[in-house]
Amino acid sequence: MKWITRECPKIDRIACPWLIRRFIDPEAEIIFAPFADIPRLATELAATPFDIPATEFTHYEDRCTFDYFLEKYQLTDPALQRIALIVRGADTDDHSVANEAAGLWAISAGLAYNTTNDYELLEKGMVIYDSLYSWAKHLYKEKHTQNPTEKLLLQIFNTYLHQKKTEKKKIPAWATELKDIIQDQMDTNLSLSLKEISEDLNVNPAYLSREFSKYFDNLTFGEYIRKLRIEKAVQLLNSPGNSLSEIAYLTGFSDQSHFTRIFKKHTGQNPSEYRKNKVKSKTDTKG
């Protein structure tokens, strides 16, 4: 049987011929041609087009032509299903589909760059996909490092790296000063701006924004300010002298609804529930 597709193949148009020859038709003839010539050549040569728009063997939604071949010929081999995810991820540039997709794309792109003859490229690609099939069939659960000593050394190395990463970093002077500025202004300036603060500190605002989370509980500037507002709200809720609307105003929220939503996100309770529980807790303690 003859099959025809576009010239200059990279992924799907190498993977599909491999699949055809290995699992559908070992004697299949694969033809590569310019896109504009395919309708005419398909008729003249009685060849079935594939990976061509508006044909049966093509992409459907987020799936590629390789997926369709598996479905059409009911190829349920688990190894082929694993390869299908890798091919799909590489062919659609969605490398989140399979960890190996980025590697297949890199190898395919490099192979096509080095090999300008499509038929020579296909023969080299057959070797690549034979190897990928062996991995998917027999080796996909194995790791590169097999030697127990090597594994132990890697474990120690990774533990050391983790320790180095989690060691407390020396806090720069600007971070200490910034913390003091925020604490000083929280009660009087509820619209603190990172840009304004960066000018006070004489620090580039882009740098300040990028480095902020390293020294402020892994929070962005906005998240840290909201955290402080919630802490202030908790203090005010412990006192019966302020209504929820007043507390929302005093802590810099646009309205009570906004305050309630953010407070619940941080504490898991509505402000009113928090206050009631605190009152009940005090009553139970006295009793």
Q: What is the pLDDT of residues 65-85, one digit of tens each?
A: 999 999 999 999 999 999 999
Please name the amino acid found at residue 179. K
Nearest to 99 by CA among 131, 143, 65, 66: 143
pLDDT of res. 6? 96
In this structure, are residues 277 and 269 in contact, taking their beta carbons and an 8 Å threshold?
A: yes
Query: CATH 1.10.10.60 in the chain, residues?
Result: 173-286
Tell me the mean pLDDT in the region 23-51: 97
Strand, helix or coil at 94?
coil
CATH second-level architecture of 173-286? Answer: Orthogonal Bundle (1.10)
Residue 92 predicted with pLDDT over 70:
yes
Residue 154: other Cβ atoms inside 10 A:
13
CB under 8 Å to 99, separation ≥6 — which residues?
none
- Phi–psi pair at 186, nearest 5 degrees: -60, -35
User: Is pTM, for the whole model, over 0.75?
Assistant: no
Quote the mean pLDDT of the chain: 85
Residue 228 predicted with pLDDT over 90:
no
At residue 149 the predicted structure's pLDDT band, cuts being 50, 70 and 90, is low
Residue 218 predicted with pLDDT over 60:
yes
pLDDT of res. 285? 60
- Rounded Cα distance between 13 and 33, Å, is 12
